[in-house]
Amino acid sequence: MHLRSPDDLRTLVERYLDELALSPELGGLEQAVRYPLESGGKRIRPVLCLAVGEAAGGEAERCLAAAAAVELVHAFSLVHDDLPALDDDDERRGRPSAHVAYGEAVALLAGDALLAEAFRLALSYPTPAVGRELAEATLGMIGGQYRDVTGSAGDLAELHRLKTGALFSAAVGVALWAAEVPEVEQRPWRAFGAELGLLFQIVDDVLDGDGYAESHGVAGARALADAAAERAQERLEAVPADTSVLAELVAGLASRTT
Amino acid sequence: MHLRSPDDLRTLVERYLDELALSPELGGLEQAVRYPLESGGKRIRPVLCLAVGEAAGGEAERCLAAAAAVELVHAFSLVHDDLPALDDDDERRGRPSAHVAYGEAVALLAGDALLAEAFRLALSYPTPAVGRELAEATLGMIGGQYRDVTGSAGDLAELHRLKTGALFSAAVGVALWAAEVPEVEQRPWRAFGAELGLLFQIVDDVLDGDGYAESHGVAGARALADAAAERAQERLEAVPADTSVLAELVAGLASRTT
Domain assignment of residue A208, yes or no? yes
Residue A201 scores a pLDDT above 80: yes
Best mutation target among B20, B22, B23, B25 (most A Cβ atoms within 10 Å) is: B25
CA distance B226 to chain A (A): 28
Cross-chain Cβ contact A131/B126 below 8 Å: no
| Alpha carbon distance B89, B107 (integer Å) | 13
Domain assignment of residue B136, yes or no? yes
Per-residue pLDDT at A1: 61
User: Does B257 lie at the interface with A, CB-CB under 8 angstroms?
Assistant: no
Cross-chain Cβ contact A120/B139 below 8 Å: yes
| Alpha carbon distance B216, B210 (integer Å) | 10
CA distance A99 to chain B (A): 10
CA distance A13 to chain B (A): 22
User: Does B245 lie at the interface with A, CB-CB under 8 angstroms?
Assistant: no
Cross-chain Cβ contact B131/A136 below 8 Å: no
CA distance A152 to chain B (A): 8
Cross-chain Cβ contact A106/B25 below 8 Å: no
Please compute the mean of the pLDDT values over residues A92-111 and round it to a whole number: 96
| Alpha carbon distance B258, B94 (integer Å) | 13
Pairing of strands B91-92, B95-96: antiparallel
What are A205-216's pLDDT values in tens digits? 999 999 999 999
Q: How confident is the model at residue A71 (pLDDT cuts 50, 70, 90)?
A: very high
What are A223-255's pLDDT values in tens digits? 999 999 999 999 999 999 999 999 999 999 999
Contacts of B92 (CB under 8 A, 6+ apart): B36, B39, B78, B82, B98
Per-residue pLDDT at B41: 81
Chain A, residues 68-127, CB within 8 A of chain B, namely 76, 80, 83, 85-86, 104-106, 108-109, 111-113, 115-117, 119-120, 123, 125-127
Per-residue pLDDT at B245: 97
Domain assignment of residue A1, yes or no? no
Please identify every stretch of chain B with a pLDDT value under 70, giving residue numbers as ranges.
1
Asked which of A37-41, A174-178, A206-210, B15-19 is least confident by mean pLDDT, the reply is: A37-41
User: Does A156 lie at the interface with B, CB-CB under 8 angstroms?
Assistant: no
Cross-chain Cβ contact B116/A139 below 8 Å: yes
Cross-chain Cβ contact A131/B136 below 8 Å: no
Q: How confident is the model at residue A41 (pLDDT cuts 50, 70, 90)?
A: confident
Cα separation values, B190 from A37, B156, B157, B173, Å: 34, 22, 18, 7
Contacts of B219 (CB under 8 A, 6+ apart): none
Domain assignment of residue B94, yes or no? yes
Cross-chain Cβ contact A136/B86 below 8 Å: no
Cα separation values, B4 from A237, B177, B199, B242, Å: 58, 20, 23, 12
Chain A, residues 22-51, CB within 8 A of chain B, namely 23, 25-29
Cross-chain Cβ contact A142/B104 below 8 Å: no
User: Does B5 lie at the interface with A, CB-CB under 8 angstroms?
Assistant: no
Per-residue pLDDT at B1: 61
Domain count for chain A, please give it.
Answer: 1
Domain assignment of residue B116, yes or no? yes
Chain A residues lying within 8 Å of B108, measured CB to CB: 80, 83, 85-86, 108
Please compute the mean of the pLDDT values over residues A142-169 and round it to a whole number: 94
CA distance A92 to chain B (A): 19
Closest chain B residue to A27, measured at CA: B143
CB A120, CB B136: distance < 8 Å? yes
| Alpha carbon distance A82, A87 (integer Å) | 5
Q: Which domain holds residue A237?
A: 6-255
| Alpha carbon distance A246, B2 (integer Å) | 58
Per-residue pLDDT at A40: 74
Give me the CATH number covering residue B41.
Answer: 1.10.600.10
Chain B residues lying within 8 Å of A123, measured CB to CB: 128, 131-132, 135
Q: How confident is the model at residue A2 (pLDDT cuts 50, 70, 90)?
A: confident
Size of interface A-B (CB pairs under 8 A): 157
Chain B residues lying within 8 Å of A125, measured CB to CB: 128
Please compute the mean of the pLDDT values over residues A125-130 and round it to a whole number: 97
Q: DSSP assignment of B77-126, as one string? A: HHHHHTSTTTT--SEETTEE-HHHHH-HHHHHHHHHHHHHHHHHHHTTSS
Domain assignment of residue B224, yes or no? no
Cross-chain Cβ contact A146/B27 below 8 Å: yes
What are B20-76's pLDDT values in tens digits? 999 999 999 999 999 999 977 889 999 999 999 999 998 999 999 999 999 999 999
